[in-house]
């Protein structure tokens, strides 16, 4: 029997508690070894401790180095910054990893299987913004700056290539906009190319300009394997990739860092359907699957993935977003029946 693995569990806001209940039931059912330390963040953090990211939650992740995090609502106004951004900075979660694979059979594409490595700490997400005078209006012009560092460009590129080697992936595409952002994107491209050369003979690689890449992803999605790119481009392209395979309902994400790894669904807290048992727990469940892989339980991760894919393809008790009339717990039961 696998020994227990301490992990932090953050149910989160909106649909978070519902999908967490379903996901933990499935993980328990399959005998996953996680010993949960349940903590709060987001609006639930404010309710529990008066702040969106309570110190207890940070301390728990620092101890376990492993977390499954439900979606968090970022309160509008009141000077709160995104809790997801705070977590990335706090634990130096430099790599946002989003795998995208065709699951639904009635989607537009049959053979999508790509993994996007998005740099998670720099680029335009620095969002150093301000006003400038323009035509007599002191706020007539706005600016926003970002930065990239050689170190992060190399670290995220190396992570993508190491992943390719470890998972038998054939090719890494470096995505940039160096033709216009000659310094910001140009340096990323240069450093990434330099790292890529170390893998010559083991992993193929190419580089693509982000706008052309977006078009090619839609026209020939099966030409992509692993993509590595900067923060904002990665954000946009990974949602595009999710769209190729039927939307955010099945898209998980991992945030990997030096000091911790946090797993999640790509979607948000879906306040429009919260509390109605309409939420599809599969993306969050696939996030838990990435967590199983992260701790080396690849067999369990594969078993879980297969149960999800079979359930979704059979449309067995699935939620409305997957074309069914089931609910959060009924799809969870269908998945458990297959495990």
For binding to ligand NAD (CB under 6 A), which residues are involved?
15, 71-74, 84, 248-249, 264, 267-273, 279-280, 283, 321
Nearer to ligand NAD, 248 or 339 (CB): 248
Nearer to ligand NAD, 227 or 322 (CB): 322
Query: Active site residue: 13, 37, 235, 300, which one?
Result: 235
DSSP 321: G
Catalytic site residue 177? yes
The least distance separating ligand NAD from the CB of residue 295, rounded to whole angstroms, comes to: 21
The least distance separating ligand NAD from the CB of residue 83, rounded to whole angstroms, comes to: 7
The least distance separating ligand NAD from the CB of residue 145, rounded to whole angstroms, comes to: 23
Nearer to ligand NAD, 195 or 290 (CB): 290
Nearer to ligand NAD, 6 or 239 (CB): 239
Catalytic site residue 321? no
The least distance separating ligand NAD from the CB of residue 205, rounded to whole angstroms, comes to: 29
For residue 118, give Cα distances in angstroms to 55, 99, 189, 254: 27, 11, 14, 10
Q: What are phi and psi of 329, to 5 degrees?
A: -80, -30
DSSP 178: T
The least distance separating ligand NAD from the CB of residue 239, rounded to whole angstroms, comes to: 10
Q: What are phi and psi of 272, to 5 degrees?
A: -65, -25
Cα–Cα nearest to 287, from 16, 55, 2:
16
Q: At what angle are helices 231-244 and 210-219 packed, to 10 degrees?
A: 10
Catalytic site residue 104? no
Query: Active site residue: 194, 211, 259, 302, which one?
Result: 211
The least distance separating ligand NAD from the CB of residue 308, rounded to whole angstroms, comes to: 13
Strand order through the sheet with 252-256: 34-38, 5-10, 66-69, 261-265, 252-256, 95-101, 113-119, 226-229, 171-176, 204-209
For residue 139, give Cα distances in angstroms to 131, 135, 291, 293, 318: 5, 10, 46, 49, 50
Query: Active site residue: 124, 125, 163, 199, which one?
Result: 125
Q: What are phi and psi of 330, to 5 degrees?
A: -70, -40
245: its two tokens: 């395979």
Nearer to ligand NAD, 209 or 248 (CB): 248
Nearer to ligand NAD, 123 or 249 (CB): 249
With a CB cutoff of 8 Å and minimum separation 6, the contacts of 263 are 67, 68, 69, 252, 253, 254, 255, 287, 288, 290, 291, 294
Catalytic site residue 211? yes
Catalytic (active-site) positions: 125, 177, 211, 235
């Amino acid at each position: 029997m696998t020994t227990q693995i301490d992990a932090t569990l953050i149910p989160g806001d909106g649909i978070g508690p519902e999908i967490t209940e379903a996901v933990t039931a499935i993980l328990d059912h399959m005998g996953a070894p996680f010993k949960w330390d349940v903590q709060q963040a987001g609006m639930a953090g404010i309710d529990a401790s008066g702040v969106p990211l309570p110190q207890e939650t940070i301390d728990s992740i620092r101890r376990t180095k492993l977390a499954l995090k439900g979606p968090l609502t970022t309160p509008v106004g009141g000077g709160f910054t995104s809790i997801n951004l705070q977590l990335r900075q706090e634990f130096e979660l430099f790599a946002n990893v989003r795998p995208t694979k065709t699951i639904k059979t009635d989607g537009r594409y049959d053979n999508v299987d790509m993994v996007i490595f998005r740099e998670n700490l720099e680029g335009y997400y620095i969002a150093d913004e301000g006003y400038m005078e323009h035509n007599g209006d002191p706020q007539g012009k706005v600016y926003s700056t970002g930065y990239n560092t050689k170190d992060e460009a190399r670290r995220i590129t190396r992570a993508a290539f190491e992943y390719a080697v470890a998972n038998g992936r054939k090719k890494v595409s470096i995505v940039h906009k160096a033709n216009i952002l000659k310094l910001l994107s140009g340096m990323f491209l240069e450093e990434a190319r330099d790292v890529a050369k170390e893998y010559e003979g083991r992993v193929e690689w190419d580089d693509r300009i982000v706008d052309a890449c977006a078009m090619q992803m839609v026209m020939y999605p099966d030409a992509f394997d692993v993509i590595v790119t900067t923060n904002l481009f990665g954000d946009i392209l990974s949602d595009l990739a999710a769209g190729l395979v039927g939307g955010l309902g099945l898209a998980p994400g991992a945030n990997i860092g030096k000091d911790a790894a946090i797993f999640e669904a790509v979607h948000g807290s879906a306040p429009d359907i919260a509390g109605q048992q309409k939420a599809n727990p599969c993306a969050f469940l696939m996030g838990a699957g990435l967590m199983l892989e992260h701790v080396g339980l690849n067999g369990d991760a594969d078993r879980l993935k297969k149960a999800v894919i079979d359930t979704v393809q059979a449309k067995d008790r699935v939620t409305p977003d997957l074309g069914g009339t089931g609910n959060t717990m009924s799809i969870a039961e269908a998945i458990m029946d297959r495990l």
